[in-house]
Structure 1
Amino acid sequence: MARVRAEKIQELIKQEVSKIILNDLKNPHIGFVTVTQVEVTNDLRHAKIWLSLYGGPEEQDRTLQALNKSLGYIRSEIGKRIRLKFVPELALMTDNSLEYSSHIQKILLQIKENEAE
């Protein structure tokens, strides 16, 4: 039962963080960001937010630094929007799965081309 509640909280946090980043944060250093996943511990005290960042490495670093500086604001907004006894401590993680899948796709295309030759 606790895991079902944690999954619901994960989805709510994912939606709210996406809305906060899109609508509320006015930092010009924040580039294009997608919240891909949220993992919450069973006791709902800690949450890892997985982000997919777009742009070059420098732009990704600036975006991640700006978001880390905004974590306190994001956490307070989550506390206002989602009724929880304890608002989880937030940690931002970068999700490189899109880059990895693109890399694998390129390798598979190269293999296909080599076989055709």
Structure 2
Amino acid sequence: MADPARARKLAVRIREVVASALERGVKDPRLGMVTVTEVRVTPDLVDATVFYTVYGDEDARRASAEALESARGLLRSQVGRATGVKVTPTLTFVHDRLPDDAKHLEDLISVARERDARLAEVRRDARPAGDEDPYRRPRTVDEDDEDEDEDLVDEFDEFDRVEELDADAGDALGGDAGAREAGASAGRQVYPASPGGDPTAGR
């Protein structure tokens, strides 16, 4: 009967036993620096897969794999004695490539970051070959344009002075002289207002 919980507990115990045996019990010179990373036991407790890593190059991995294969019977016997199960699971050793893949991925990320940093530095120091905007030209004021503007301002000032003079003349015509001129043309005599305010004074 399958028992996943018991299989997980047995896997933990097998990992401890195998790791200890590789450190103290196996005397094979081919065995390198092996680390047991994980053990998986089938739900029926019949088979156990032991994942491991080896420090070193491909030759070290190959030699360690041969040493583990040679010591598989010994290791299974130690697992049976340590766990006390009725049927000792068979042991299958598999090189765990996950740490190697993770390290390779970290190396790729590190290289990409260094490349991005170099590109950012190059872009920061780069300058355009020509103008920033070759189609845009700054507006400059020509001296002749300034003279024309000053002449135009003078003309407006002269025009304002003429209007002021015309307005003063209109006010004068609208006063006593204008009234007398208008009355004379109508055949009537018009008397200017006296300082006292009596319009009939002096008739």
1:79 corresponding residue in structure 2: 80
User: Displacement of 1:114 after TM fit?
Assistant: 2.2
The equivalent residue for 1:54 is: 55
Structure 2 CA distance for aligned equivalents of residues 106 and 62 of structure 1: 26
Aligned to 1:28: 29
Larger Rg: 2
Q: CA deviation digits over 1:51-105, x for unaligned, max 9?
A: 1111111121111101101100100111111110110011000001121111111
CA–CA distance in structure 2, aligned partners of residues 53 and 113 of structure 1: 29
* Counterpart-to-counterpart distance in 1, 2:111 and 2:62: 31
How far residue 40 of structure 1 moved from its aligned partner, in angstroms, is: 0.4
Structure 1 vs Structure 2 CA RMSD = 1.2
Whichever residue aligns with residue 13 of structure 2, its letter is L
Letter in 2 for 1:26: K
Structure 2: where are the runs of 5+ without partners?
Answer: 120-203
Query: When you count strand as a share of all residues, which structure comes out higher?
Result: 1
TM-fit CA distance, 1:17: 0.3
Distance 1:54 1:114 in 2: 29
Secondary structure (helix, strand or coil) at the match of 2:18 reads: helix
Identical columns (%): 28
Which residue identity does 2:105 align to in structure 1?
I
Q: Which has the higher contact order (CA 8 A, sep 6+)?
A: 1
Aligned residues: 117
Q: Which 5+ residue runs of structure 1 have no aligned equivalent? A: none
Equivalence for 2:123: none
Whole-angstrom distance in 1 between the partners of 2:61 and 2:52: 11
Match of 1:108?
109
TM (norm. structure 1) is: 0.95
What TM-score, normalized by structure 2, do the two folds share? 0.56
